[in-house]
A = this chain, B = another copy of it.
Amino acid sequence: MTARASRGRRPGAPDTRAEVLAAARASFAEKGFRGTTIRAVASAAGVDPALVHHYFGTKDDLFVAALEIPVDPREILAPVVAAGPDGAGERLLRTFLSVWDDPAIQPGLLALVRSLMADDSAGLVRDGFIPVVVGPVLASLVRDRPEVRVPLVASQMIGLIVARYVIAVPPLAQMPAEDLVARVGPVLQHYLTGDLP
């Protein structure tokens, strides 16, 4: 629980830095930014709090280090949009789920989502992510009125993410990605290209 006893450099070659980062990632994903304390991260990694600061600097720095999402949304969405509007709902959803189900990526995304909802910093998503990165990409899949269709798509995907990964409501959390694609994909397709009043 507490930090180890002896001072100075330890024998062996444990990659302490990686352990600290993993602990931070887990804590941010589970408890959000404010719920995470440097001391708790250090303790989880079996390390002194000062070491955390030594490696990663301030808490904000540690947070962005823990985010580290090795995925470019535009790049990953490229093949989805390249195949055209037919079946785009299913492809889009499948791609999204494959990213979120990746254990190397999920904690970072969870931490981001948790901390975005915590305070009112959601302006980032509202004014940045949706209109700037995902909006233009999806817009090319849409025939008319992208300014209303894209947010509708976003709402269903946000709901799925929150239900499946944040709240983990059963059986959504345990359902194989393909089942979700089969059930929710058509709805996304409807938002993208269906008749809309």
B-contacting residues of A (Cβ < 8 Å)?
Answer: 30-32, 34-35, 113-114, 117-120, 122, 125-126, 130, 147-148, 151-152, 154-160, 162-164, 166-172, 179, 182-184, 187, 190-191, 196-197
Tell me whether A162 and B159 are in contact (CB under 8 A): yes
Tell me whether B118 and A34 are in contact (CB under 8 A): yes
Looking across the interface, which residue of chain B has its beta carbon closest to that of A116? B167
Q: 26 A-B pairs, CB-CB below 8 angstroms?
A: A30-B119, A30-B120, A34-B35, A34-B118, A35-B119, A114-B118, A117-B118, A118-B118, A125-B169, A130-B169, A147-B171, A148-B183, A151-B170, A151-B172, A152-B184, A154-B169, A155-B169, A155-B172, A156-B159, A156-B187, A158-B162, A159-B160, A159-B162, A182-B197, A187-B190, A187-B191
How far is it, in angstroms, between the C-alpha of A162 and the C-alpha of B159 when the chains are bound?
Answer: 8
Smallest CB separation, A153 vs chain B (Å)? 10
Looking across the interface, which residue of chain B has its beta carbon closest to that of A163? B155
Tell me whether A157 and B156 are in contact (CB under 8 A): no
Looking across the interface, which residue of chain B has its beta carbon closest to that of A36? B119
Smallest CB separation, A97 vs chain B (Å)? 13
Q: Which residues on the B side are within 8 Å of A191 (C-beta)?
A: 187
Looking across the interface, which residue of chain B has its beta carbon closest to that of A152? B183
Tell me whether A157 and B159 are in contact (CB under 8 A): yes
Q: Which residues on the B side are within 8 Å of A160 (C-beta)?
A: 155, 159
Tell me whether A122 and B183 are in contact (CB under 8 A): no
Smallest CB separation, A3 vs chain B (Å)? 24
Smallest CB separation, A167 vs chain B (Å)? 4
Using A151-B169, A172-B151 as known contacts, say yes or no to A119 and B156 having CB atoms under 8 A apart: no
How far is it, in angstroms, between the C-alpha of A119 and the C-alpha of B126 when the chains are bound?
Answer: 22
